[in-house]
Amino acid sequence: MQPHVEIFSQGEEVITGQTVDSNAAWLAQELVQMGFIVKRHTVVGDNLSDLKKLLKEISLRTDCCICTGGLGPTTDDLTAEAVAQAFDRSLSLDLVALQQIRAYFSARKRAMADTNSKQAFFPLGAERIDNEWGTAPGFALQENRCWFVFLPGVPVEMKAMFAEQIAFRLKQRFALQANQLVTLRSIGIGESDLQEKINTLSLPENVQLGFRAGADEVQTKLLFPAGADQRQVKNIVQQLVFCIGDYVFAVDGLNERQGGLVSVIDQLMQQQGLTLSVQETASQGLIAAKCIGHSWLLTSSFSQSLQQLSNKLNILFEPDASFKLAESIADKIQQQEGADLVLVQLYKGSIEQFQNKHQAIVIYNLLLTPEGIQRSEFNISGPQQRKQNQCALLALDLLRRYLQNKNSSERML
């Protein structure tokens, strides 16, 4: 019998739609993978009587509830108060929590506002959940049938606390049999084309297939039942990778986690000891921004005008040339910066065309390497933020393909 869990988000910004509740989706994925059945998500605003009513309902009908939001320092953050009133507990000061909040501010050389001390009061008998990432500690308690966990609503704090402090507590408290989720991460191919490529494959009945298209990648998800034979799992995954082809840049859930596109590139750049310089046009800084914290990126630059860039680099500006112009730019940058690899992205259209969501643009990517030149060319459409992001990703993907092909001894599976 799988345990039931609910997810509960609190906050005016969520109930009024100012914020999309992405926390709930993230938590639901984690909880399904751990072996829970997720029964409900509920959102209410910062309203004491709504909160109390919901907490009582949940306490009677489910085994576990993960709650986010309402732990901030301001008067509209009411979670601890609502829990205390709903379940007839008093609020009591946790001195360790108060000490942690003080330390958070002193480490940042800032004065702690008086209102922050409110965050150290928990319902009597609750277990404190430390927060290393912000000022709001969480807490947990059992009430009627349900074990409640209260976490802050700030996604980065909530996710870190869940991963490092809640996951193992859930495994201790509940008899969970985790399903095995394997995720094939791909780029440069749409969801429906991807589905066409694999629709000849027949999967065993107990394996669930799903897709998720995000802004950065398309994921193909295989959910295997707990205890599935690992040779069979690997075999099915290999067939799937074969069908999709080298759009797949990473497979998560088999052995170690390979991660996102930049994380895959980072591993290969480090293994191969290479450095990179980038010239951006349409992505306007976003290629560099995505590589944050990686020292193999030596330099990057952006120019609004190709004419001006050509003048600065002292090369001939040929408006009709595409890859040829990109190659001249790459050569000059390599001379100036001395990087092993130079990635040049060329957009030759107008800024109006780029801004217009009804017009597609053409992008030329060129990668200068010690072994020669790699090229790719794409049509990209949609609103400008989508174009910018796709331009950055597809340029980085040219680099990823080069690094993975070169490193053919490094196998994905």
- Residue 361 DSSP code: E
Strand duo 218-224 + 121-123: pairing: unpaired
CB of residue 405 to its own copies, shortest distance in Å:
26
Per CB under 8 A, 60 contacts its own copies: no
Contact residue for its own copies among 2, 48, 76, 235 (CB under 8 A)? 76
CA dihedral 345, 301, 387, 326 (to 10 degrees): -10
Contact residue for its own copies among 255, 295, 314, 408 (CB under 8 A)? 295
Per CB under 8 A, 363 contacts its own copies: no
- Cα–Cα distances in Å, from 151 out to 72, 130, 138, 165, 279? 10, 10, 5, 11, 42
The Cα–Cα gap between 310 and 330 comes to 11
Tokens, residue 108: 């940042």
The Cα–Cα gap between 286 and 293 comes to 14
Q: What angle do CA 209, 212, 213 make, to 5 degrees?
A: 145
Is residue 71 within 8 Å of 136, Cβ to Cβ?
Answer: yes
Per CB under 8 A, 81 contacts its own copies: no
Q: Closer CB to its own copies, residue 54 or residue 326?
A: 54
Contact residue for its own copies among 79, 310, 388, 390 (CB under 8 A)? 388
Tokens, residue 192: 């429906």
- Tell me if residue 168 falls in helix, strand or coil: helix
Q: Closer CB to its own copies, residue 246 or residue 252?
A: 252
CB of residue 230 to its own copies, shortest distance in Å:
22
Per CB under 8 A, 1 contacts its own copies: no
Is residue 384 within 8 Å of 357, Cβ to Cβ?
Answer: yes
CB of residue 125 to its own copies, shortest distance in Å:
27
Per CB under 8 A, 2 contacts its own copies: no
CB of residue 295 to its own copies, shortest distance in Å:
5
Binding mask 191-230 for its own copies (x = CB under 8 A): xxx-xx------------xxxxxx------x---------
Give kind and range of the element (H or E) at residue 244. Answer: helix 230-244
CB of residue 59 to its own copies, shortest distance in Å:
16
Per CB under 8 A, 378 contacts its own copies: no
The Cα–Cα gap between 238 and 232 comes to 10
Could you tell me which stretch among 42-50, 79-87, 166-174, 244-252 binds its own copies (CB under 8 A)?
42-50
DSSP 98-162: HHHHHHHHHHTT-PPPGGGGGGGEEETTPEEE--SSSS--EEEEEETTEEEEEE-SSHHHHHHHI
- The interface with its own copies within residues 231-290 (CB under 8 A) comprises 280, 283-289
Per CB under 8 A, 403 contacts its own copies: no
Could you tell me which stretch among 19-27, 120-128, 244-252, 253-261 binds its own copies (CB under 8 A)?
19-27
The Cα–Cα gap between 405 and 409 comes to 9
Q: Closer CB to its own copies, residue 28 or residue 412?
A: 28
Give which of 219, 68, 93 is closest to 157, Cα–Cα: 68
φ and ψ at residue 87, rounded to 5 degrees: -115, 25
Centroid of chain to Cα 189: 19
CB of residue 408 to its own copies, shortest distance in Å:
29
Q: Closer CB to its own copies, residue 219 or residue 404?
A: 219
- The interface with its own copies within residues 139-168 (CB under 8 A) comprises 154, 156
Contact residue for its own copies among 3, 10, 35, 44 (CB under 8 A)? 44
Per CB under 8 A, 117 contacts its own copies: no
Q: Closer CB to its own copies, residue 1 or residue 107?
A: 107
* Residues binding its own copies: number (CB under 8 A): 99
Per CB under 8 A, 174 contacts its own copies: no
Contact residue for its own copies among 145, 171, 312, 324 (CB under 8 A)? 312
CB of residue 43 to its own copies, shortest distance in Å:
4
Is residue 184 within 8 Å of 237, Cβ to Cβ?
Answer: yes
